[in-house]
């Protein structure tokens, strides 16, 4: 475990671009871009082990990316306030080139969870590193305005699917980010009121339409469960204990498989394998529910997915939900992505919570 912690730190540090961006997986055909969700969780995993230089560079890069799109954010916010429809191409992208440009390839781009996740991890970074947050204030304020204007809209989920739905995991990530922005103290009075109002409205919606049978649902109107919902339980911790327990129980029933966690039952991407990042989120959820032995088992399962050189994959293919779909993805994009920086960041975060350090 300690060796894998050390290797994970080295892999993430080695792969970070000079700009500060973290590529999802530089060796994978279409993952040489920087996703805010992935990068934010990667930076937070490093921070959990006292590493601050890489996370600082990432957060500075993200702030630059957002500040460079100030005019675009103003246009979107104004159009939505006026009741106009906004073309999806005008919303902020979910992934960027490593130097901060919009990607030129067609992609499933309108997602909001990454921006909420960035705010949540930035607040943790500023608190842990003792860093002056003033340089980040413009980007934080713009992100709050953008999220407050857009959170009600359907968009792609964590997995870049179902753009026609309002996804509960996205809502809870946005709520967590808005509340984190309030804690930074970087918002003026108007911005703080905007953040608080939006966060409270999201919480109210999730508490009513975002639940079924007392647990979180995949999207509004769905009875399905999704592994990404675990983040709402922990580390975001934006749902009450009863909802947390029932959501974890649903994940255990439908998605937990021999230690690893599937994304959702209908998953066909690379055959629908089990994801280390979701195993780590389940470990965090177990810790919130005072189940440390179960959390340690999740950490052990993640470590067991490492290749001989210590690299962690995006998913493992030994227990597939739809094995007949694996060949088509291999033909399209090659082997499963590895090393996935988010997998390493997720492992680092859970390892730190369980007292495992290099």
Tokens linked to 154: 């359907």
Rounded distance between C-alpha atoms, residue 44 and residue 60, angstroms: 14
Tokens linked to 325: 């779909």
Rounded distance between C-alpha atoms, residue 220 and residue 242, angstroms: 19
Task: Clarify whether 314 is annotated catalytic.
Answer: yes
User: 77, 145 in Cβ contact below 8 A?
Assistant: yes
* Of 19, 32, 36, 22, nearest in space to 139 by CA: 36
User: 282, 230 in Cβ contact below 8 A?
Assistant: yes
Task: Clarify whether 175 is annotated catalytic.
Answer: no
The residue annotated as part of the active site, out of 160, 161, 209, 294, is: 160
Cβ neighbours around 252 below 10 Å, total:
16
* Complete edge-to-edge strand list for the sheet that includes strand 260-262: 256-257, 260-262, 274-275
Rounded distance between C-alpha atoms, residue 160 and residue 166, angstroms: 12
Rounded distance between C-alpha atoms, residue 334 and residue 329, angstroms: 7
Q: What values do phi and psi take at 275, rounded to 5?
A: -110, 125
Residue keyed to tokens 């340690």:
296
Task: Clarify whether 324 is annotated catalytic.
Answer: no
The residue annotated as part of the active site, out of 15, 226, 267, 314, is: 314
**Rg value, the chain, Cα:** 19
Cis peptide leading into residue 235 (ω within 30°): yes
User: 275, 283 in Cβ contact below 8 A?
Assistant: no
Torsion of CA 161, 176, 252, 292, to 10 degrees: 140
CA distances from 299 to 231, 287, 315, 355 (A): 16, 12, 15, 11
Rounded distance between C-alpha atoms, residue 110 and residue 94, angstroms: 6
The residue annotated as part of the active site, out of 38, 113, 157, 267, is: 157
279 half-sphere exposure, CB direction, 13 A CA radius: 31
Enumerate the active-site residues.
157, 160, 314
């Amino acid at each position: 475990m300690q060796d894998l912690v050390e290797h994970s730190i080295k892999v993430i540090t080695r792969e970070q671009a000079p700009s500060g961006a973290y590529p999802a997986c530089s060796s994978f055909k279409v993952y040489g871009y920087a996703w805010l969700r992935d990068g934010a969780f990667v930076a937070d995993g490093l921070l959990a082990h006292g590493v601050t230089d890489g996370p600082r560079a990432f957060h500075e890069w993200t702030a630059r990316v957002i500040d460079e799109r100030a005019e675009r954010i103003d246009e979107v916010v104004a159009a939505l306030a006026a009741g106009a429809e906004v073309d999806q191409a005008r919303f902020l992208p979910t992934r960027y080139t490593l130097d901060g440009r919009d990607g030129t390839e067609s992609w499933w781009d309108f997602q909001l969870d990454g921006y909420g996740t960035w705010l949540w991890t930035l607040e943790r970074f500023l608190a842990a590193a003792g860093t002056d947050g003033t340089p980040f204030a413009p980007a934080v304020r713009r992100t709050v305005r953008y999220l407050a204007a857009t959170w009600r809209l359907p968009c792609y989920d964590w997995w870049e699917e179902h753009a026609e739905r309002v996804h509960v995991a996205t809502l809870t990530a946005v709520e967590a980010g808005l509340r984190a922005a309030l804690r930074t103290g970087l918002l003026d009075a108007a911005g703080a009121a905007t953040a608080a109002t939006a966060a409270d409205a999201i919480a109210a919606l999730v508490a009513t339409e975002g639940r079924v049978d007392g647990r979180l649902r995949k999207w509004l109107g769905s009875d399905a469960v999704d592994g990404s919902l675990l983040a709402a339980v922990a580390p975001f911790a934006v749902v009450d204990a009863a909802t947390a327990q029932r959501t974890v129980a649903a994940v255990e029933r439908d998605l937990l498989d021999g230690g690893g966690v599937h994304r959702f039952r209908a998953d066909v991407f690379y055959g629908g394998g089990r994801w280390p990042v979701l195993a780590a989120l389940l470990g965090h959820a177990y810790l919130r529910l005072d189940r440390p032995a179960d959390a340690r088992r999740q950490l052990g399962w993640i470590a067991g997915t490492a290749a001989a050189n210590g690299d962690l994959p995006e998913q493992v293919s030994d227990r597939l939900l739809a094995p007949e779909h694996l060949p088509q993805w291999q033909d399209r994009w090659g082997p499963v992505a590895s090393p996935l920086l988010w997998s390493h960041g997720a492992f680092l975060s859970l390892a730190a919570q369980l007292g495992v350090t290099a």
